[in-house]
Structures are given as structure tokens and as C-alpha cells.
């Protein structure tokens, strides 16, 4: 039970006026900084994915002095690169009835009515500029023979508004942002610090004025002071250990900010993607996603009988359960991500899962191959079948693929106002790291849109609202606050190295992941979450007594890097479960088994839970304090998502 609920939320700064005018009005009302003065301001950007790189490049173009940090060896490697499907934009190039308003509406509805209308509308508005910007940078989007841009319908959208670059849209967009960033690095506008991990935030008089980092090559712990800090550090999907995230993705920057006072909003909104390659063994380090487009032609099924170990080819049609087609006759195999994922979990829970582990369902292309021929199927999905074969060694033209849901994206994140500033003055949060635009569920092809919207178009306009009232360069790393935080960081590193226990960092991470997946994964309930909340602190205690981090801090030490991240996940997991336990409704990526309709669908509770749950840290092991930002829907009608 949540002990304390307070409603003293900071102002979300949503502009007044009609929804379609809010952003224009806000830009007009925003403060400006004289070009000559911009260069006096230092902006620290942490993370170099779509949001971070685009923000760093654009702010440097505007004249700010930017320092950008990433843990990878190059800013080109951030995990935005792995997004396959595409990026939405309300261009309406297909003349199929799309508009800014429709994209806005679809996104709010897709988010199960748990996002801020004003933010989502702004996202839809700038979505058109994003495409222009990316094309100007040389992003090779798919084109038609006439030379115009091609679009496709994605993730069940009824209009074709998704721009794509084969299956590598994220890569191409990130390389675009990276090239813009590279130009600014060459021009001296951005100083880039790769292989540099932010380990803590520094507050001076309550404002975010710097960060403490670790040089991952030399082990040196040092600080940077700036006039504002931008976190673009991605999501926290790796709290589940296995996810489609990169192995290095972590919550540390966001969680450290949270411990310094930033509210963490809606952590329980986690997206599980239905078409991933199943886990094959305990050694598995990562899950691989296959494009959702496979569901356009593949039929999902499991045996009707529990424990049926026959080969798929030996199971006659009458003994197969095409459960998505059975339960959702109109959407069938194309039911949205959360619904398809939950369906798979249910049948596996009933013991009808397939494969060695029993955690998988078939995605069968035999009907499509029979109907259209293998050649056509190969043309459409050849690369995906090839990827599947690389990983599993199986030929999906001959026997059905096995798929299983996997954690893919996290909608929750640090709370931000309309300016993308958290409740800590000077701390801005962009991209997946903030909570702002996707509500309880993100639509396909919207993550790239949000990252770039925040970086290219939102923060460059809104950052001055904070900076204009700050005298630039007042804080330097000489300030004692830096020494204090640096000392804390160093102590923590020394502690990791001195525990010298018996278990590897990974073994803790794996155990935590299994626990969180089990109790706070695709379906959650009060008892399970309560149990998790009891077991997480135990595991954390064991970690601090029994972890073994070999080596020292004078060099590359990957175990040390992981130890810091896992230590933060071990605290963050508790926050995640608290949020999941308190939200007694099912919505989007958060499914509480106690709250479902008679036929097993998510049951939202708008009367009690139409708010953003923003959590304030109150010490490790203590229950966080909930702050509520009520969500008001003036432009869309709250409705039940139905895909029957």
C-alpha cells in the first residue's frame, strides 16, 4: 500500500488555448537568448541516441556550448540504431485521410488514454518537420519509382504514415543525427566524450548544474559543470535482464537523478513486443526482435492439448488452436502488441507452449506459402527468415517459427513538464528516458518520432525558458558540491571492488530479471508484486555482500561498469513494482490480472487512475512518495480499446 499520496505536483506548464495552437503559442511565449549570449551557456547532454544526438547537434547549431557523453565507443552506436520498423509522420503524402489531428488521436488512444494531450499533439505537429529534416541530412528513406517517398501502414494503423528505410530505419535516422553531431564536433560546437559514463548528477542550490562521470578507459572519476543538464539516456527495459535492449542500456543516469529528487513517472508502463525469438537457454544474454510485419502473413497457434510434444507438422489442423484468430476475429493475428503478447503468455501458462522450454508459440507461414508461393514470402520477409535461421538454425519455410514476447520499450520515465524539464530545475529529459508522450502503450514507429521531436524541435525552443533566467557559467567544478558527489561515486566504486564475494554481477542481474519478469512482466497481481517487493531488497542485500567484481579501477573494467548498473536496477526494480502495485487497473503495457473484463481484456479505471503517477525517492528501501498529475482529456473521448 502506498502510504503517502500527495498532489503537490510541479506545474506541467501546459500552455492554455486550443490544442492545435498550444505549441505555436508556447514557442511565441518562450524566452529567447541573444545569439551572442548563447555561447556563454554550457549544455551537458548525456546520451547520444536519437534524442541526445539531435539535441546536441541542434543546440550547438544555435550557438550553445555543448558537451555530449555516451558510454559506447562512438555516438553512432546508441540503441536507437536497432529500431527496425519506421517512423510515423502526419505528412499525409498518401492522401489517405491522415492529419496531425489523426496522428494525435491515434497516439492518445494507442497510449490507452494515459498520456498528456498537449505533448502528444505537439509530437504529431513536429512529426512532419522531422521527415523534412532527415531527408535533408541524406537519410535514405524508401522511395517509389517516381522518386517520391514511400509509406506503409504499421502496427495496425489505418493510414499509411510510416516512413521507413528497409528494416533499418533506426539506424539510418541515428546516422543522420550522428552526422549532424559530427559536423558540430568538427566545428567546435560540441565536445564529445565517448566511453564516458555518467554516474551521478550534481545539484547546486537545487538546480542541476553538473554531472560526475567515469572515464571507462582510464577509470578516472571526474566532473563537468554546465548551466543545464539534458538526460537522453534511454529506457530501463534491462531491469528484466533479458530484453531487446542493448546489453549496455541502463537506468543509472535517470535513476541517479531520481535519487537526487527527480520524479519518476509511470515506471510500470513497460512494453512487451510479441514477435521475438524465444529464449533458448540460461546463458542467453539478449532477445532479438523480429519485425511485427511478420504477423501480416503468419498465423499464430499452439496445440490444443497441453503438453503436446509432437512436431508441428504432425499436429493436424483440428488439434491446433489459432488463439488470436479465435479470440479476436476481426483483428486476428494483427491484434495490438500488448494483446498479442498476453495471449502468448496465457497459452504458455496453460502448458501449451512449444519448443524445448515451453515458452514459445508458433508463427506459421505455411498458409501464406501455399497461397502466394514461397517466392513471394521470401521476397517480403527473406531477411527476417534469414535472421531467424542465423539465431535458431531452423528453416522457417519448412517448419513454423517459434516466437515469444520480450520486453522492448519502456513508456515510463522521468517526469517532465511541457518544456521537457523535470521537477529539478535545469534537469531536462528527452526521448525514452522521459515519460511524456506514449502513455501506457507506445504505438509502432512512434519511438523514433518522439526521440527526434524532442531533440530537433522541442528542446531547442524550450531550453531558453530555463536558461534565460540563469546567469551563464556561474557554477564551476570547483564548487564543493562536485567534490562531495565525486567522493560518493569513488566510494561506491571502491566498495564494489572490495566486496570480493562469490557471485558475478550477471548472476544477480539474471536473478533480478527473472523475478521482475515473473512478477511484474506481462501480467501482474497484488500478491506477486508484494512478493517481488519483499524479494528485491533481499537480493539487493545479497548483492552488496556477495558480489565479485574483479580487477581495479585503473583501466577498462567491464564488470565494474555492470556492477554500477545492476546496483541501480536492484533499487529501481522496487520502484517499478511499487508503481505496478499501486495502479489498480489494467491499461496498455500494464496488465493487472485482478482488473480484467469477463473475457480477459484490460479493464481501465478512469475514475481513479487517469493520472500520471510520479514518484519521489525517499531513501533506499523506503516507500517512494506518489505525486499525481491528473490527466485531462478535452479533445479525445475516453473509450475502451477494442480489437475484437
Partner 1 sequence: MATEKLNLTLKVWRQPSSTAQGEIVTYEAKDIPSTASFLEMLDIVNEELINKGDEPIAFDHDCREGICGMCSLTINGRPHGPGDGVTTCQLHMRSFRNGDTIWIEPFRAQAFPILKDLIVDRSAFDHIIQAGGYISARTGSAVDANAMPIPKPVADYAFDAAACIGCGACVAACKNASAMLFVAAKVEHLGVLPQGKAEKDRRVLGMVRAMDDAGFGNCTNQYECEAVCPKEISATYITKMNRDFAAASIKEAVVNEF
Residues taking part in catalysis: 337
Q: Whole-angstrom Cα distance, residue 596 to residue 12?
A: 31
Ramachandran area for residue 166 (φ above 0: left; ψ -120 to 50: alpha; else beta): left
Judged by CB under 8 A, does residue 630 bind partner 1? Answer: no
CB of 173 to partner 1, least distance (A): 11
According to DSSP, the β-strands at 611-616 and 625-630 are: antiparallel
Site membership for partner 1, residue 180 (CB under 8 A)? yes
Q: Quick check: 640 binds partner 1 (CB under 8 A)? A: no
In the set 14, 81, 339, 515, which binds partner 1 (CB under 8 A)? 81
- The region of 29-37, 280-288, 360-368, 596-604 touching partner 1 under the rule CB under 8 A is 280-288
356 binds partner 1 (CB under 8 A): yes
145 contributes a contact to partner 1 by CB under 8 A:
yes
498-527 binders of partner 1 (CB under 8 A): 502, 504, 506-507
Between residue 522 and residue 581, which ones bind partner 1 under the rule CB under 8 A?
548, 550-551, 554-556, 558-559
Residue 450 lies near partner 1 (rule: CB under 8 A): no
Residue placing its CB nearer to partner 1 in the complex, 79 or 327: 79
Q: Report the phi/psi class of residue 33: left, alpha or beta, with left for phi > 0 and alpha for psi in -120 to 50.
A: beta
- The CA distance from 4 to 533, in Å, is 17
CB of 186 to partner 1, least distance (A): 4
* Of residues 92 and 333, the one with the C-beta less far from partner 1: 92
Binding residues among 374-413 for partner 1 as defined by CB under 8 A: 387, 390-394
Distances (CA, A) of 31 to 13, 25, 34, 199, 257: 14, 12, 10, 32, 26
Q: Of 95-103, 146-154, 324-332, 563-571, which part binds partner 1 (CB under 8 A)?
A: 146-154
| Binding of partner 1 by 281 (CB under 8 A) | yes
The candidate with the shortest Cα–Cα distance to 381, out of 166, 201, 152, is: 166
Among 92, 182, 291, 441, which residue interacts with partner 1 (rule: CB under 8 A)?
182
CA distance 25 to 27: 5
CB of 580 to partner 1, least distance (A): 27
Residues numbered 159-178 forming contacts with partner 1, rule: CB under 8 A? 165-166, 168, 170-172, 175, 178
> Cα separations (Å) of 498 from 549, 553, 556, 564?
8, 11, 17, 14
Q: Which of the residues 295 through 354 are near partner 1 (CB under 8 A)?
A: none
Q: Edge-to-edge, what's the strand order for the sheet holding 5-6?
A: 5-6, 625-630, 611-616, 264-265, 413-414
- 188 sits near partner 1 (criterion: CB under 8 A): no
Sole window of 77-85, 205-213, 360-368, 419-427 interacting with partner 1 (rule: CB under 8 A): 77-85
CB of residue 573 to partner 1, shortest distance in Å:
22
**Residue from 75, 235, 400, 451 binding partner 1 (CB under 8 A):** 75
Rounded to a whole number of angstroms, the minimum distance from the CB of residue 149 to partner 1 is: 6
Q: At a CB cut-off of 8 Å and minimum separation 6, what does 384 contact?
A: 167, 290, 291, 293, 294
Shortest Cβ distance from residue 433 to partner 1 (Å)? 17
Q: CB–CB of 59/68 below 8 Å?
A: no
Site for partner 1 in 239-278 (CB under 8 A): 244, 246-248
> Is 249 in contact with 235 (CB distance < 8 Å)?
yes
Cα distance between residue 84 and residue 290, in whole Å: 8
Helices and strands counted in the chain (H then E): 18, 20
Q: CB neighbours of 611 closer than 8 A, spacing ≥ 6?
A: 628, 629, 630, 631
Amino acid at each position: 500500500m502506498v502510504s503517502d499520496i500527495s498532489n503537490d505536483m510541479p506545474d506541467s506548464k501546459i500552455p492554455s488555448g486550443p490544442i492545435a495552437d498550444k505549441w505555436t503559442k508556447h514557442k511565441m511565449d518562450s524566452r529567447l537568448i541573444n545569439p551572442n549570449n548563447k555561447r556563454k551557456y554550457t549544455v551537458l547532454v548525456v546520451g547520444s541516441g536519437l534524442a541526445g544526438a539531435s539535441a546536441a547537434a541542434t543546440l550547438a547549431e544555435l550557438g550553445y556550448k555543448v558537451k555530449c557523453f555516451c558510454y559506447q565507443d562512438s555516438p553512432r552506436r546508441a540503441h536507437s540504431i536497432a529500431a527496425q520498423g519506421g517512423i510515423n509522420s502526419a505528412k499525409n503524402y498518401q492522401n489517405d485521410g491522415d492529419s496531425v489531428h489523426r496522428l494525435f488521436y491515434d497516439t492518445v488512444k494507442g497510449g490507452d488514454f494515459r498520456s498528456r494531450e498537449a505533448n502528444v499533439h505537439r509530437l504529431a505537429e513536429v512529426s512532419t518537420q522531422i521527415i523534412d529534416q532527415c531527408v535533408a541530412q541524406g537519410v535514405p528513406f524508401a522511395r517509389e519509382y517516381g522518386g517520391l517517398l514511400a509509406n506503409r501502414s504499421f502496427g495496425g494503423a489505418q493510414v499509411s504514415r510510416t516512413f521507413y528505410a528497409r528494416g533499418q530505419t533506426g539506424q539510418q535516422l541515428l546516422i543522420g543525427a550522428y552526422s549532424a553531431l559530427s559536423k558540430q564536433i568538427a566545428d567546435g560546437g560540441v565536445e564529445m566524450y565517448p566511453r564516458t559514463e555518467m554516474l551521478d548528477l550534481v545539484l547546486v542550490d537545487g538546480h542541476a548544474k553538473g554531472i560526475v562521470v567515469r572515464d571507462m578507459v582510464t577509470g578516472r572519476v571526474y566532473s563537468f559543470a554546465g548551466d543545464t543538464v539534458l538526460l537522453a539516456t534511454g529506457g530501463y527495459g534491462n531491469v528484466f535482464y533479458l530484453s531487446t535492449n542493448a546489453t549496455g542500456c541502463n537506468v543509472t543516469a535517470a535513476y541517479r537523478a531520481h535519487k537526487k529528487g527527480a520524479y519518476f513517472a509511470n515506471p510500470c508502463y513497460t512494453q512487451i513486443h510479441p514477435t521475438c525469438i524465444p529464449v533458448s537457454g540460461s546463458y542467453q544474454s539478449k532477445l532479438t526482435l523480429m519485425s511485427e510485419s511478420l504477423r501480416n502473413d503468419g498465423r499464430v497457434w499452439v496445440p490444443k492439448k497441453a503438453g503436446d510434444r509432437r512436431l508441428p507438422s504432425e499436429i493436424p489442423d483440428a488439434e491446433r488452436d489459432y488463439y488470436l484468430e479465435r479470440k479476436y476475429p476481426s483483428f486476428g493475428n494483427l491484434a495490438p502488441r500488448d494483446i498479442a503478447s498476453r495471449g502468448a503468455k496465457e497459452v504458455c501458462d496453460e502448458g501449451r507452449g512449444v519448443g524445448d522450454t515451453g515458452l514459445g508459440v508458433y508463427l506459421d507461414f505455411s498458409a501464406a506459402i501455399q497461397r502466394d508461393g514461397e517466392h513471394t514470402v521470401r521476397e517480403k520477409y527473406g531477411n527476417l527468415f534469414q535472421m531467424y535461421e542465423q539465431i535458431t538454425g531452423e528453416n522457417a519455410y519448412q517448419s513454423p517459427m517459434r516466437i515469444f514476447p520480450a520486453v522492448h520499450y519502456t513508456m515510463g520515465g522521468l517526469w517532465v513538464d511541457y518544456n521537457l524539464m523535470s521537477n529539478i530545475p535545469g534537469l531536462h529529459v528527452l526521448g525514452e528516458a522521459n515519460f511524456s508522450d506514449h502513455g501506457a502503450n507506445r504505438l509502432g514507429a512512434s519511438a523514433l518520432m518522439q526521440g527526434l521531436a524532442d531533440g530537433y524541435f522541442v528542446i531547442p525552443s524550450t531550453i531558453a525558458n530555463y536558461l534565460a533566467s540563469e546567469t551563464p557559467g556561474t557554477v564551476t567544478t570547483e564548487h564543493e558540491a562536485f567534490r562531495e558527489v565525486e567522493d560518493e561515486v569513488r566510494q561506491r566504486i571502491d566498495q564494489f571492488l572490495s566486496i570480493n564475494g562469490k557471485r558475478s554481477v550477471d548472476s544477480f542481474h539474471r536473478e533480478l530479471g527473472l523475478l521482475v519478469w515473473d512478477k511484474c512482466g506481462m501480467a501482474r497481481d497484488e500478491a506477486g508484486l508484494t512478493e517481488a517487493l519483499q524479494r528485491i531488497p533481499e537480493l539487493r542485500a545479497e548483492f552488496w555482500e556477495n558480489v565479485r567484481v574483479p580487477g581495479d579501477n585503473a583501466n577498462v573494467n567491464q564488470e565494474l561498469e555492470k556492477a554500477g548498473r545492476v546496483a541501480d536496477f536492484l533499487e529501481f526494480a522496487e520502484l517499478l513494482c511499487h508503481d505496478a502495485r499501486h495502479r489498480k487497473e489494467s491499461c496498455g503495457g500494464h496488465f493487472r490480472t485482478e482488473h480484467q473484463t469477463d473475457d480477459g481484456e484490460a479493464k481501465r479505471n478512469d475514475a481513479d487512475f487517469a493520472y500520471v503517477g510520479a514518484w519521489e525517492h525517499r531513501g533506499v528501501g523506503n516507500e517512494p512518495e506518489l505525486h499525481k498529475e491528473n490527466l485531462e482529456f478535452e479533445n479525445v473521448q475516453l473509450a475502451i480499446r477494442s480489437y475484437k
